[in-house]
Amino acid sequence: MTVITRTLTVETRGNCHVIDITQDVTRELDSSGLSNGIVTVFIAGSTAGVTTIEYEDGLINDFKNAWERNIPRDIPYQHDKRWGDGNGYSHVRASMQGPSLTIPFANKKLVLGTWQQIVIVDFDNRSRSRKIVIQFLGE
């Protein structure tokens, strides 16, 4: 059993920008030489999240619209009054979504469904350079 830690930097546009990183994680798994274990995908920062989704444009828009309905940007946030960043809604969404995802792999393959992609979601209100940690524990 060993630990292999990789990092990925992704340029995002913010505003619920959803980015498919499945191929990045798969490539790192291939190069790790590991056969069985888990990969943890973690995004550093408090205005972004990690999940899986069927990555197609219609659904990506549905996902954005759902966040807009449930955690609207155009209502008052105390965070904005104190800090003036205007991204209070981004923080709340990120904390509800969560920054971490753990996926098993077996026989050198991630156990994802066919239409299930690993994505990061940038909830911030501006473009960002995001650091993603992709860490494997396995053998």
Count of residues touching a second copy (by CB under 8 A):
59
What proportions of the chain, in percent to the nearest 5, are helix, strand and coil?
30, 40, 30
Rounded-to-integer distance, Cα 8 and Cα 82, Å: 32
Q: Is 11 in the site for a second copy (CB under 8 A)?
A: no
The answer to whether 23 contacts a second copy (rule: CB under 8 A) is no
Which spans in the chain are helix H?
22-32, 57-70, 78-83, 88-97
Q: Mask: binding to a second copy, 38-77, rule CB under 8 A, as x and -? A: x-x-x-xxx----xxxx-xxxx-xxx--x---xx-----x
Q: State yes or no: residue 1 binds a second copy (CB under 8 A).
A: yes
Q: Which residues contact 94 (CB under 8 A, 6 or more apart)?
A: 45, 46, 47, 48, 49, 123
Does 26 bind a second copy (CB under 8 A)? Our answer is no
Contacts with a second copy by CB under 8 A lie at 1-3, 5, 36-38, 40, 42, 44-46, 51-54, 56-59, 61-63, 66, 70-71, 77-83, 88, 91-92, 94-104, 106, 111-113, 115-117, 133, 135, 137-139
